Structures are given as structure tokens and as C-alpha cells.
């Protein structure tokens, strides 16, 4: 019998409150009082998180498996500093993580995906 791989899911909840959206980010598998949430001031913060550039980053990490942020920036043909900023944001939302690799004094951070599915739910 083949072992099934557990799907890594992240959830973003949007709620309408007093005519505006408030959003909460919660991780899969966290229950009750342990539920982690980040409250966005408005939906524009969510748009920044889910931009086309960040989608490209997630796609390239999944498909090309770059060995460093520098290599990721080269594949994307984007400025290293901008890519670094974007991957830090994705890391803060636990969508990616970094594995330290390297020889001697110089270490590089290899980005890896922490999710297979991102669910967005809007509660009105």
C-alpha cells in the first residue's frame, strides 16, 4: 500500500466588517486557542501578498527548485533586493521557508515551499 502525502494547506479568511474587509491568516492544523491570525487593515494588504510577482516566485520555487535567492532572482530576471523582499513576506506568512546550505563561512538560503494549497474564504 502506497503512503499518501499529506497536503500542506494555508488558509486566509476575509470577513466583511462595517463596510470593509478584515482578513485573518491561519495555518492548517492549528486548532482552538492556538489558531494564529494576522489581521490586515484592508484588502490591499492581501493584494500585495497575492500579487502576480509572488505567484511567479512560488511557481519557480516549486518547478525549478532554485538553490538560493540569488538564483531565484536570476530565473525571474528581477532585481535581487526586490526578490529578497518578496520572499521575506512569503516567509512571514509561512508559505515558504529557507534551508541553510553552504560551505565554509559562506552560507546560502535555499527557498522551499511550505504549502500545496492556499484557500481564501470570504465571509459576508
H-only helix segments in 19-51: 43-49
Residue 42 pLDDT: 52
Return all residues near 6 (Cβ < 8 A) that are at least 6 apart: none
Residue 72 grid cell: 531565484
Residue 47 pLDDT: 75
Q: What is the DSSP letter of 29?
A: T
Residue 113 grid cell: 515551499
pTM across the whole model: 0.73
Into which CATH architecture does domain 9-123 fall? Orthogonal Bundle (1.10)
Residue 44 pLDDT: 64
Burial of 37 (0-12, 13-18, 19+ CB in 10 A): exposed
Residue 11 pLDDT: 76
Domain boundaries, the chain: 9-123
- Reported as a single tens digit per residue, the pLDDT across 46-104 is 777 888 999 999 999 999 999 999 999 999 999 999 999 999 989 888 889 999 998 77
The more confidently predicted of residues 117 and 39 is 117
Residue 44 grid cell: 490591499
Amino acid at each position: 500500500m502506497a503512503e499518501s502525502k499529506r497536503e500542506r494547506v494555508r488558509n486566509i479568511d476575509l470577513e466583511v466588517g462595517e463596510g470593509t474587509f478584515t482578513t485573518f491568516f491561519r495555518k492548517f492544523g492549528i486548532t482552538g486557542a492556538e489558531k494564529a491570525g494576522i489581521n490586515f487593515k484592508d484588502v490591499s494588504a492581501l493584494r500585495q501578498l497575492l500579487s502576480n510577482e509572488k505567484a511567479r516566485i512560488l511557481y519557480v520555487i516549486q518547478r525549478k527548485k532554485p538553490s538560493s535567492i540569488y538564483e531565484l532572482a536570476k530565473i525571474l530576471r528581477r532585481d535581487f533586493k526586490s526578490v529578497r523582499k518578496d520572499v521575506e513576506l512569503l516567509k512571514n506568512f509561512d508559505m515558504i521557508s529557507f534551508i541553510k546550505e553552504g560551505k565554509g563561512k559562506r552560507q546560502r538560503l535555499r527557498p522551499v515551499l511550505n504549502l500545496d494549497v492556499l484557500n481564501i474564504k470570504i465571509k459576508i
